[in-house]
Structure 1
Amino acid sequence: MSADPSPSQSLALEQELPAPLPPLSVRLKEIAAVFLRLGFLGFGGPQAHIAMQNDEAVTRRGWMSQEQFTEGVGLCELLPGPASTQMGIYIGYVRAGWAGAVLAGFCFIAPAFVIEVMFSWLYFRFQKVPQLQGVFFGVAPVVIAIILAFCWKLGRKAVKDWSRGLIAVAAFVLLLLAGVNILLLFALAAAVGLVLYGPRRPWPGIPGLLPWPLLSLAQTVVATVPPETLTLSSFWGLERIGTYFWPMTLFFLKVGSAIFGGGLVIIPFIAEEVVEQLRWLTPAEFLDGVAIGQFTPGPVVLTAAFIGYKVAGVLGALTATVAIFAPSFAFILLAAPVLLRIRRNAWAKGSLQAMTPTALGAIAAATIPLAQNALLQDTPLASLLALLIGGAALVGLMHFKLPTWLLVLAGGGVGWLVGGLVT
């Protein structure tokens, strides 16, 4: 009797075997094509980006299973930094190792970076044109509405009980009224999370969730920069980059290492230091930069490129972008296996339980002065128009679920139409 399997058994065995991987060069070309396209079309925020990545990597191409993808999303949500960018890096890592990870991240970021720099140049070149002032008069209230809607969504996720509500309120009060340093605020949140939500067993010491030596160094170096409000750099920024390279690098490394909770959590970090302390941007410029980040593709943290362009031109934009995304690459490339275990660690989970409500309170506190700048205008009529634009945008977001980029464009259009009344 023959021991060879029947044709039907052979087919079943072939279906059970994993498909052989194409050569590395083919996989890298596929990764580049997919993530360049996603980089150009990545509108709608991190949730939309991750949904697009799931469609490409799991549904259409079978690069990973749905379980692998979900595990990657959970890992990226645990980490500080832009989750959708980290997920792209993770997909590239699973598909083609370190080379795939670097290529995926680069191709996802590069198109959005070029577009952001182009809009930054246009904005600062034509900033004083009355029509453009009208456009950004209409855009600023929309940005406030986007932030408030984000706070609402984050609050529904974060405030699960009274203790988390108190953490959010405490963060709001400490940041707005007491002026507590925001990194100290998140360090306190991590400690509170360990006490309230960690496992009930002997104290193991606070896990090193953030690179605190680096953050302290960044605080020291950035603080040495003179606080005068900066004028606009030249296009390339050659005259400024020597002075501001290390302050920008260390500052944006710090931000990229500490923004838990989504891209808009960048707001309190930047509003506190870049706007209020360092005065690299005015409040109006900062709001306009966030708005540009909303109607361009890619993650909102590319607002760093806008800031970098103001400080030191294209070289400054490149410096800020590399620095803010470098922690994301490092976390995935150097620590992915360890972080997958940390994600299941009860102490790490407990510490992070307090991070999200803290981010909620910090964003709410940072929004108040920004809202004053956007809504309280020179005349009662202008203030009323700004309030109406912001209210309409909030209704569009909360009730009609309109995309943020569309609302930003609509707000700019209304601002352009009524610009003669307010400028």
Structure 2
Amino acid sequence: MADPTFSDLVRQFIRIGLLSFGGPAGQIALMHREIVEQRGWIDEGSYLRALNVCHLLPGPEAQQLATWIGWRLHGTRGGLAAGLLFVMPGAAIMLALSALYALAANLAPIAAIFLGIKAAVLAIVVQALIRIGRRALDTGLKRALALLAFLSLFLFALPFPVVVLATGLAGFLLARWRPAWLNAHGHATAPAPAGPRPWASTVRAVLVWLAIWAAPMIAVLLMLGPDHVLWRIGLFFSQLAIVTFGGAYAVLAYMAQEAVQAMGWLSAREMTDGLGLAETTPGPLILVTQFVGFLGAFRAPAPFSPMVAGTLGALMTLWVTFVPCFLWILAIAPWMDRLERAPRLQGALAAITAAIVGVIANLTLWFALHVLFTRLERMEAPGIALLLPDPASLDWRIALIAAGAAILLFRLKRGVLTTLALSAVAGLLVTLPM
């Protein structure tokens, strides 16, 4: 298919931004379906290799992948458009819900709609996991690596970076001795592009985006001082943006503990409510930070009104959380073609690709357990940390809607929009009194 125009890219990412429910697993699946399968704008191998790199960077991997897709198709302006459009619909919804929550408004109808959407996302994610697995796991070793990655994360709760780095090291070594086990060759075997290395564009991107990242922080420091809540919000979430390897799931526990216990911005129950809102709105799950930033500033508003302060807190959080994503991708993207053509690195990325299938499977199961059950217990033994649901806490409404969504997708071959719309209506019907 011919390369899309910039207008095509913008229209598509507006759609993706509005439909990107389900956390990283659902968002990665949605972009794969829309960009790779249906439109062929990015080939399968490039998509998966870019996903591998995004998993190794700090920050939300799905948003970074969206930025890379835009950059690959239309350079810097494409990366900005795709990255921003992926985030902004969910950010706008999350800001509105945060304000409603702070004002104790009635969220029952919205919660009912999102309940149905949440259930549909389960089926969408499972469908995508199956499709990605069929394409990526084309050798016995890759299937074994995917299984090991899944067990390492779900059963043994190993740190995400350890799993990915160990898999990449294995692939790096096997690329020389047993390349056929990984089927690494043939994905990107053309010679590396001729010409000077893109150091200038990388250095320029780093300098420009560091300045953009720091700009609101400097303004707050000069106008309000280092003791103001907006400075503390910006500093805390800037630090978080640097250490969030493995995506939102890897950092949520730390963020919740610091925001609740150390900062005192909100209670543990409110943190849980915010996570629930973030899980059921479009956009990255890390948008829960916006909820935290809003409440933190809303409750210490001087010299602003509470609503103005909350809005500024949410915007500051968004800025320092997502600007670094553009920095990482726009600095690294010019090197992607060269990196793809290094044989040993290609082997490492092929192994990581297999492991990522296991990662997505773990995220899918994590999401399913948290959506279907209201009570989960962690069974811990030496070397094992297993998350088990309480069968009595099964939410029959979500299970029923998820089953219906699976029938729509797998048996009746309906599209994502139709499935989400019907599931949202079902959420209203089974939740709200008639």
TM-score bin (small chain): 0.5 to 0.7
CA contact (8 A) 1:126 1:132 kept: no
Match of 2:95 in 1: 121
Report how far residue 318 of structure 1 moved: 2.2
In the alignment, the residues of structure 1 paired with residue 166 and residue 318 of structure 2 have an alpha-carbon distance, to the nearest angstrom, of: 32
Mapping of residues 29-44 of structure 1, within 5 Å: 36-42=10-16
Residue 248 of structure 1 is aligned with which of 237, 254, 274? Answer: 237
Structure-1 separation of matches of 2:240 and 2:131: 28
Structure 1 contact 306–317 (Cα < 8 Å) conserved: no
- 1:385: which partner in 2? 397
Q: Alignment partner for residue 278 of structure 1, among 242, 255, 269?
A: 255
The answer as to 2:92 corresponding to 1:92 is no
Where does residue 320 of structure 2 map in the other structure? 319
Deviations 1:325-359 (A, max 9, x none): 32111112xxx2x4322212210111011212222
Letter of the 2:69 partner, please give it.
Answer: M
Indicate conservation of the 8 Å contact 2:150/2:362, yes or no: yes
Q: Which runs of 5+ in 2 are unaligned?
A: 20-29, 55-60, 180-226, 260-269, 294-312, 376-390
Where does residue 278 of structure 2 map in the other structure?
289
Deviations 1:101-124 (A, max 9, x none): 2x3322333345442222112333
| Alignment partner, residue 359 of structure 2 | 362
Q: Percent identity?
A: 14
Distance 1:143 1:253, change over 3 A: farther
Q: Paired residue for 2:121, among 129, 136, 143?
A: 143
1:374 maps onto 2:374 in alignment: no
Kept in 1: contact 2:90–2:281 (CA 8 A): yes
Match of 2:332 in 1: 331
**2:173–2:344: 8 Å Cα contact kept in structure 1?**
no
- How many residues are treated as equivalent by the alignment? 314
Q: CA deviation at 1:180?
A: 1.0
User: Is this contact kept in 2: 1:291–1:408, CA < 8 A?
Assistant: no
CA distance in 2, matches of 1:244, 1:292: 22
Higher alpha-carbon Rg: 1
1:411 corresponds to: 423
C-alpha separation between the residues in 2 aligned to 1:200 and 1:342?
20
Structure 1: which 5+ runs fail to align? 1-29, 56-65, 94-100, 202-237, 259-267, 294-299
Change in 2 beyond 3 A, CA 1:290/1:377: closer
Per-residue CA distance 1:256-300 (angstroms, 9 max, x = gap): xx6xxxxxxxxx7322321x343268567546535422xxxxxx5
Shift of 1:149: 2.1
The amino acid across from 2:89 in the alignment is I
* CA 1:135–1:240: 2 relative to 1, 3 Å: farther
Cα distance change, pair 132–88 in 1 and its aligned pair in 2 (3 A): closer
TM-score (ref. length: structure 1): 0.62
Match of 2:111 in 1: 133
| Distance change in 2, residues 1:50/1:290 (3 Å) | farther
Please give the alpha-carbon distance, in whole angstroms, between the structure 1 residues aligned to 2:79 and 2:243. Answer: 19
Change (3 A) 1:400 1:155: same
Kept in 1: contact 2:137–2:354 (CA 8 A): yes
Equivalent residue number for residue 188 of structure 1: 166
Partner of 1:46: 31
